[in-house]
Amino acid sequence: MIWLTLKIKIFFWLALLNRLQTRDNLFKKGWIADRACAICHNAMETTVHLLTACPLAYNIWDGLTQPGITIAMKDDLGIFWLHNRQSLQMAYNGNWDSAWMAGMRNIWKARCRLIFEGTTINDNDIIRKTMQDASAWIAIC
Instruction: Look at residue 1 and tell me if it is in a domain.
Output: no
Provide the 10 A C-beta neighbour count for residue 72: 12
pLDDT value of position 83: 76
Instruction: Look at residue 114 and tell me if it is in a domain.
Output: yes
Instruction: Look at residue 38 and tell me if it is in a domain.
Output: no
Which domain range does residue 73 map to?
Answer: 6-33+46-140
Instruction: Look at residue 124 and tell me if it is in a domain.
Output: yes
Q: Is residue 48 a contact partner of residue 77, using CB atoms and an 8 Å limit?
A: yes
Q: Would you write out the chain's pLDDT as a tens digit for each of its 141 residues?
A: 566 778 888 998 999 999 999 999 999 999 999 999 999 999 999 999 999 899 999 899 888 876 666 676 667 887 777 777 766 655 555 577 788 888 999 999 999 999 999 999 999 999 999 989 888 877 776
pLDDT value of position 93: 56
Instruction: Look at residue 39 and tell me if it is in a domain.
Output: no
In eight-state DSSP terms, residue 5 is: -
Burial grade of 68 (CB within 10 A; 0-12, 13-18, 19 or more) = exposed
Number of structural domains in the chain:
1
Instruction: Look at residue 115 and tell me if it is in a domain.
Output: yes
